[in-house]
Chain A
Amino acid sequence: MALLEVRDLTVVFQRRGEEPFRAVDGVSFDVEPGQTVGLVGESGCGKSVTSLAIMGLLPKRGATVTGTVTYDGTDLLKLSDKQMRDKRGSELGMVFQDPLSSLNPVIPIGLQVTEVLERHRGLARKEAMIEAKNLLDKVGIPDPNRRLKEYPHQLSGGMRQRALIAIALACRPKLLIADEPTTALDVTIQAQILAVMKELVQDLGTALVMITHDLGVVAGLCDEVNVLYGGKVVEKADRHPLFAEPRHPYTHGLLASIPRLDAAPGEKLTPIRGSVADNIPWAQGCAFAPRCPNALDVCVQVTPAEEDQLGRLLRCHNPVVPGTPAAEEVPV
């Protein structure tokens, strides 16, 4: 049985006087123990909301979460607030996007690591400090004894993200969710952070849900990839087939819009035209149809179902045939 089974996860935000907004719309995926699963998509596709819903971190008022999130046999969505607090930080860890704002600016790094050890592993402050030092050492922070006493603003961006990883992994969680962990960092630091995460989740046997818009991160880490658009999974495949033969026009477009070093001189980039709409209607037709180069008449009339076709799960009426170049070249 999978460690995490997300079924039909739907998150609807409702503000007084406004139309309800379906940020996540029936997302399903599995994570096996030790596996790394990617959730990929542009801003607003629902990937962060999915992660917050799994962690039980969405605001209680204004957000309605339905579906099931079965972790180790229990549905997390049915747990009480207290039961969920016992799971968070101990069995479920999370790393966030912006390491500076994600750390408390007024208490030392040491306390921010030890508090989770004290809470879940029942360590006394002194023991927790020794453990915290080892953790900082493990994530590659030099001179950990000094860093424990320092405050977030005294650390570099890379070190802060390492500290957040140390915090998330402090209690050896079985599942780690990383929400764009490298977005706020320099490219060279990004690679280091990814290497540290990869090494640690392998050592600890932790399953990883990697949320990113960066296909480079996916290529380097993920076993399986879920591509999200407008709150729905549009393509789900293992890493190699997905990169080799993207079938959904959206995935195809995402890959085609990455600049390549081996491109011929003068070759143009192929961006996806348009941008993500504020409220994407899946009710009638495919939400991607207005931006899709492969769109047929049926695409704007009938909502595509998630189907097992061409050896993967796909939500598309007119998938990309392997070997076709991008349908349209747009001057950049």
Chain B
Amino acid sequence: MLRYTIRRLIQLVGVVLVLSLLLFAWMRLLPGGPVSALLGERATPESREALTKQLGLDQPIIVQYFKFLGRAASGDFGVSTGVQPGDSALDIFVQRFPATIELSFFAIVIAILVGVPLGYLAAKRRGGLFDNLSVVGSLIGVAVPVFFLAYVLKDAASAALGLPSFGRQGDINATRVTGFFTLDGIITGEFDATLDALKHLILPAIALATIPFAVIFRITRAAVLDVLDEDFVRTAESKGLTASVIRRRHVLRNSMLPVVTTIGLQTGALLSGAVLTEKVFVIPGVGQALAIGFERRDYPVLLLLIIMATIVYVVVNLLVDLSYALIDPRIRTR
């Protein structure tokens, strides 16, 4: 198990290296560039050339790449040219990453807490009204674009429920420890701040949760349907066990492999959905920075943020793979 984990982590290093090289090359193939973005279309050729040289963009890509790697090894990921010009890319990452992780975390928690029980119930009542309604509901969940739902929640639901119509704000008078607003309040004992952060978080998290919810719901339903037909569930029934023990110990436990896999894959969808959600709810997170970064060709910030997002994705899926062994002993002994 330990060896497997280490091997996977070494693979992660390889993934990051290859990805960073590809990103490095791809971004430079895009038309425009930081120079046009910074100076505008009407800049003189002399000033363009000077800035190009200053940013080191006149050198071959491979040279630029290795210089980048060398600086990155000492924690220098370059200076932002577009998102927050002049700030270091690392600072921007540290400021913005917690907001996105917090948003994505709550979104996936909502998706799991709603999707898994509903999926179980729908399977248990296969073909019934509840099943049909929730299957249709989940289709709508997948089909409705995130940004549309986000606007509906922002403009309509927030007024109706008395919740703030924008996401996290940096000016809450709370002590900052980790940058995770909900966590900070609990650590420092400022529970008001946590509650306030949650209020700001709930609508964007719901908007972001819809697609993962719909996918988790459908996978759970299908997995539970398979397991309900298994002989060992009939054995459990023949023992006269209570419905709740059968559900937890025999049905859900055996349905979890595909569900956990899906949760891992959905983290990718969450990170891309966060771009739209953060835009609508004005959340100063990674998604917003990526959107601005692409407009203004902010290479250092884009590179760092995308690589970090990749690392999160790979680590989450590593955790998923490791959890297989916890769920299914047949994988453990293999």
Q: Which residues of A contact B (CB under 8 A)?
A: 55, 57, 84-90, 93-94, 96, 98, 101-108, 111, 115-116, 119-120, 151, 153-154, 164, 167-168
Say whether B232 contacts A88, CB under 8 Å. no
A86 to B242, CA, bound (A): 9
Chain A residues with Cβ below 8 Å from B245 are 115, 119
Say whether A115 contacts B232, CB under 8 Å. no
Chain A residues with Cβ below 8 Å from B230 are 101
Contacts known (A57-B234, A151-B330); A107 close to B253, Cβ less than 8 A = yes
A154 to B194, CA, bound (A): 49
Chain A residues with Cβ below 8 Å from B239 are 88-89, 115-116, 119, 167
Q: Does B49 contact A (CB under 8 A)?
A: no
Chain B residues with Cβ below 8 Å from A168 are 238
Say whether A102 contacts B333, CB under 8 Å. no
Set B240, B254, B333: member contacting A104, Cβ < 8 A: B254
Q: Does B250 contact A (CB under 8 A)?
A: yes
- In angstroms, how far is the closest chain B Cβ from the Cβ of A208? 15
Set A57, A102, A106, A164: member contacting B254, Cβ < 8 A: A106
Chain B residues with Cβ below 8 Å from A120 are 240
9 contacts between A and B (CB under 8 A): A88-B237, A88-B239, A94-B238, A103-B235, A104-B253, A105-B328, A111-B249, A119-B239, A168-B238
- In angstroms, how far is the closest chain B Cβ from the Cβ of A95? 9
Say whether A96 contacts B249, CB under 8 Å. no
Q: Can you name 16 extra interface pairs (CB under 8 A) apart from A57-B237, A168-B238?
A: A85-B241, A88-B238, A90-B240, A94-B235, A96-B234, A101-B231, A103-B232, A104-B232, A104-B250, A104-B253, A105-B232, A106-B253, A106-B328, A106-B330, A116-B240, A120-B240
Q: Which residues of B contact A (CB under 8 A)?
A: 230-232, 234-242, 245, 249-250, 253-254, 327-330, 333
Say whether B240 contacts A89, CB under 8 Å. yes
Say whether B238 contacts A115, CB under 8 Å. no
State the 4 A-B residue pairs at the shortest beta-carbon distance, nearest first.
Answer: A89-B240, A88-B240, A89-B239, A101-B231
A47 to B9, CA, bound (A): 55
Chain B residues with Cβ below 8 Å from A94 are 235, 238
A102 to B236, CA, bound (A): 9
A111 to B242, CA, bound (A): 15
Chain A residues with Cβ below 8 Å from B330 are 105-106, 151, 153
Say whether A98 contacts B241, CB under 8 Å. no
A105 to B330, CA, bound (A): 8
A167 to B230, CA, bound (A): 18
Say whether B240 contacts A102, CB under 8 Å. no
Say whether B232 contacts A119, CB under 8 Å. no
A115 to B138, CA, bound (A): 36
B230: nearest residue on chain A (CB-CB)?
A: A101
- In angstroms, how far is the closest chain B Cβ from the Cβ of A195? 23
- In angstroms, how far is the closest chain A Cβ from the Cβ of B37? 55
Contacts known (A101-B230, A164-B235); A119 close to B240, Cβ less than 8 A = yes
Contacts known (A57-B237, A107-B253); A119 close to B328, Cβ less than 8 A = no
B256: nearest residue on chain A (CB-CB)?
A: A106
A310 to B89, CA, bound (A): 97
Say whether A115 contacts B231, CB under 8 Å. no
- In angstroms, how far is the closest chain B Cβ from the Cβ of A17? 13
A103 to B230, CA, bound (A): 10
Set A96, A103, A116, A151: member contacting B241, Cβ < 8 A: A116
- In angstroms, how far is the closest chain A Cβ from the Cβ of B228? 10
- In angstroms, how far is the closest chain A Cβ from the Cβ of B227? 10
Chain A residues with Cβ below 8 Å from B234 are 57, 96, 102
Chain A residues with Cβ below 8 Å from B253 are 104, 106-107
A107: nearest residue on chain B (CB-CB)?
A: B249
A164 to B238, CA, bound (A): 11
Chain A residues with Cβ below 8 Å from B236 are 104
Say whether B231 contacts A102, CB under 8 Å. yes
B253: nearest residue on chain A (CB-CB)?
A: A106
Say whether B235 contacts A119, CB under 8 Å. no
Set B235, B240, B250, B329: member contacting A96, Cβ < 8 A: B235
Chain B residues with Cβ below 8 Å from A115 are 239, 241, 245, 249
A18 to B32, CA, bound (A): 66
Say whether A102 contacts B232, CB under 8 Å. yes
A107 to B254, CA, bound (A): 10
A55 to B328, CA, bound (A): 30
- In angstroms, how far is the closest chain B Cβ from the Cβ of A86? 6
Question: In this complex, which of B230, B237, B239 has the most chain A Cβ atoms within 10 angstroms of its Cβ?
Answer: B239
Say whether B328 contacts A86, CB under 8 Å. no
Contacts known (A101-B231, A102-B231, A107-B249); A119 close to B237, Cβ less than 8 A = no
Chain A residues with Cβ below 8 Å from B238 are 55, 57, 88-89, 93-94, 96, 168
Question: In this complex, which of B235, B253, B327 has the most chain A Cβ atoms within 10 angstroms of its Cβ?
Answer: B235
Chain B residues with Cβ below 8 Å from A93 are 238
Contacts known (A57-B234, A104-B250, A104-B254); A89 close to B241, Cβ less than 8 A = yes
A153: nearest residue on chain B (CB-CB)?
A: B330
B232: nearest residue on chain A (CB-CB)?
A: A104
A62: nearest residue on chain B (CB-CB)?
A: B127
Chain A residues with Cβ below 8 Å from B232 are 101-105
Chain A residues with Cβ below 8 Å from B327 are 106
Say whether B231 contacts A96, CB under 8 Å. yes
Chain A residues with Cβ below 8 Å from B231 are 96, 98, 101-102
- In angstroms, how far is the closest chain A Cβ from the Cβ of B218? 22
Chain A residues with Cβ below 8 Å from B237 are 57, 88
Contacts known (A57-B234, A96-B234); A106 close to B240, Cβ less than 8 A = no
Question: In this complex, which of A84, A86, A102, A119 has the most chain B Cβ atoms within 10 angstroms of its Cβ?
Answer: A102
A235 to B145, CA, bound (A): 67
- In angstroms, how far is the closest chain B Cβ from the Cβ of A286? 33
